[in-house]
């Protein structure tokens, strides 16, 4: 689904929504508790020129097959890439049929990008050409910077019930950093701080900041935010986003409204926001869970073929030529971090 005129869709009940301050607070059934506002660690005075980001585009994923036969949904990618700069694609893999994912993603190269894998259910075993191996378990994140080049594999295994649920986001690297040393950051579920909001909402802070809480993934070139936000029914929340950054939300459960007077958006839908200072979300009768992601756009040319993303066709041809003759790997060891940078 591609919605160019979201105002034609059903609006959420506006009684649950009022403006909130920087970082966001909750409103319960249209009532503001001034004492709760003062106590909230996320409340700050709005600036006079603050603006809520409007919806620029709404998309739903397209079923596709990748790797050795993994069935997934491509939420965005390729033709939408200019809109989502610096992000290249987002894949949603969820299934309780092991035949849909067990064939996995056997050995393949990457160069010029970062891949961010967030697993909510099941496990993903991974290994690379330098002998590193590990497992991304439920609730964990792997933030891999391919840089100058890595050859690796990712093999989903599912949980004890045969279910697999996770997401992989690709972020572009700027030309000046495309040939940086590769590195892994393995973040366990226990490493990810969770912020409790007024009204019962929760935010898992993977990257970026909510109030005084900072996520464990730091020192990333595109200055990203990656939040996993859950809101109960009948509440509203606002989150400040960096000026000039590309910002989108991906609904992974339930439904909600993602701007004042905007449409109600459901599961497996991505909302791309226009320019502004804050994202405003509210719920009606149903709860919502969504990923809120932001990053600084690069504004650079993209030459993309399969798992390698460069700036020119010549650089792309060089990468594949090096892969073919066995000279693709530039670094003999991989920088690995299991703690905040």
Q: What is the mean pLDDT of residues 171-196?
A: 96
pTM for the whole thing? Answer: 0.84
Same domain, 64 and 161: yes
Same domain, 178 and 72: yes
Q: What is the per-residue pLDDT across 6-56, written as a single tens digit (0 to 9) for each?
A: 333 344 544 333 333 334 333 333 333 333 333 334 334 444 468 999 999
Tell me, yes or no, whether 256 lies in a domain. yes
Same domain, 185 and 216: no
Same domain, 166 and 227: no
Same domain, 34 and 78: no
Tell me, yes or no, whether 333 lies in a domain. no
Same domain, 224 and 154: no
User: Where do the H-state alpha helices sit in the chain?
Assistant: 34-39, 81-84, 313-325
Q: What is the mean pLDDT of residues 278-299?
A: 97
Q: What is the mean pLDDT of residues 285-302?
A: 98
Range of the domain at 197: 2-55+193-295
Do the beta carbons of residue 20 and residue 237 sit within 8 Å?
yes
Tell me, yes or no, whether 305 lies in a domain. no
Instruction: Write out the DSSP string of 163-186.
Output: -EEEEEEEEE--GGGTTSPPEEEE
> pLDDT value at position 337?
56
Nearest-angstrom CA–CA distance, 227 and 281: 14
Do the beta carbons of residue 143 and residue 187 sit within 8 Å?
yes
3-state secondary structure of 113: strand
Q: What is the per-residue pLDDT across 191-219, written as a single tens digit (0 to 9) for each?
A: 999 999 998 999 999 999 999 999 999 98
Same domain, 147 and 176: yes
Q: Which of 148, 166, 190 delimits the end of a domain?
A: 190
Tell me, yes or no, whether 306 lies in a domain. no
Same domain, 86 and 183: yes
Pick the range with the lowest mean pLDDT from 42-46, 52-56, 74-78, 307-311. Answer: 42-46
Same domain, 107 and 96: yes
Closest C-alpha among 207, 122, 211 to residue 167? 122
Nearest-angstrom CA–CA distance, 341 and 219: 6
Scan for tokens 């991304």, then name that residue.
Answer: 136
Q: Which of 280, 295, 310 delimits the end of a domain?
A: 295
Tell me, yes or no, whether 269 lies in a domain. yes
Q: Which residues pair with 215 in a beta bridge?
A: none
**CATH number for position 128:** 2.60.120.10
> pLDDT value at position 336?
55
- The percentage of the chain sitting over the pLDDT mark of 70, rounded to a whole number, equals 83
Q: How many domains does the chain have?
A: 2
Tell me, yes or no, whether 317 lies in a domain. no
Same domain, 162 and 213: no
Tell me, yes or no, whether 239 lies in a domain. yes
Closest C-alpha among 164, 119, 173 to residue 145? 173
Do the beta carbons of residue 200 and residue 215 sit within 8 Å?
no
Same domain, 125 and 240: no
Q: Which of 127, 156, 190 delimits the end of a domain?
A: 190
Same domain, 64 and 114: yes
Q: Which two tokens stand for residue 115?
A: 């891949």
Tell me, yes or no, whether 315 lies in a domain. no
Nearest-angstrom CA–CA distance, 250 and 61: 10
């Amino acid at each position: 689904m591609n919605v160019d005129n979201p105002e034609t869709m059903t609006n959420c009940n506006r009684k649950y929504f009022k403006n909130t301050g920087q970082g966001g607070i909750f409103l319960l059934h249209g009532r503001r508790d001034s004492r709760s506002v003062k106590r909230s660690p996320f409340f700050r005075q709005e600036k006079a020129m603050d603006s809520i980001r409007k919806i620029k585009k709404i998309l739903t994923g397209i079923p596709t097959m990748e790797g050795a036969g993994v069935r997934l949904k491509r939420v965005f990618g390729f033709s939408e890439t200019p809109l989502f700069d610096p992000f290249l694609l987002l894949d949603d893999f969820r299934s309780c049929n092991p035949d849909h994912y067990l064939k996995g993603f056997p050995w393949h190269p990457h160069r010029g990008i970062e891949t961010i894998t967030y697993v909510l259910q099941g496990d993903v075993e991974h290994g690379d050409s330098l002998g590193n191996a590990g497992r991304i378990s439920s609730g964990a994140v792997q933030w891999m910077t391919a840089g100058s080049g890595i050859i690796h594999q990712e093999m989903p295994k599912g949980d004890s019930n045969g279910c697999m649920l996770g997401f992989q986001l690709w972020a572009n690297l700027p030309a000046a950093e495309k040939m940086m040393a590769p590195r892994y950051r393995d973040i366990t579920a226990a490493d990810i701080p969770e912020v409790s909001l007024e009204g019962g909402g929760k935010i898992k802070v993977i990257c970026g900041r909510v109030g005084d809480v900072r996520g464990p993934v730091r020192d990333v070139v595109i200055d990203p935010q990656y939040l996993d936000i859950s809101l109960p029914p009948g509440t509203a929340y606002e989150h400040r986003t960096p000026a000039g950054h590309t910002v989108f939300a991906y609904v992974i459960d339930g439904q909600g409204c993602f701007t004042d007077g905007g449409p109600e958006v459901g599961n497996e839908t991505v909302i791309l926001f226009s320019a502004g200072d804050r994202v405003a979300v509210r719920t009606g009768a149903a709860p919502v869970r969504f990923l809120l992601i932001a990053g600084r756009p690069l504004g650079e040319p993209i030459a993309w073929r399969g798992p390698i993303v460069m700036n020119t066709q010549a650089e792309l041809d060089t990468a594949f030529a090096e892969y073919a003759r066995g000279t693709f790997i530039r670094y003999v060891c991989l920088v690995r971090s299991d703690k905040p940078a």
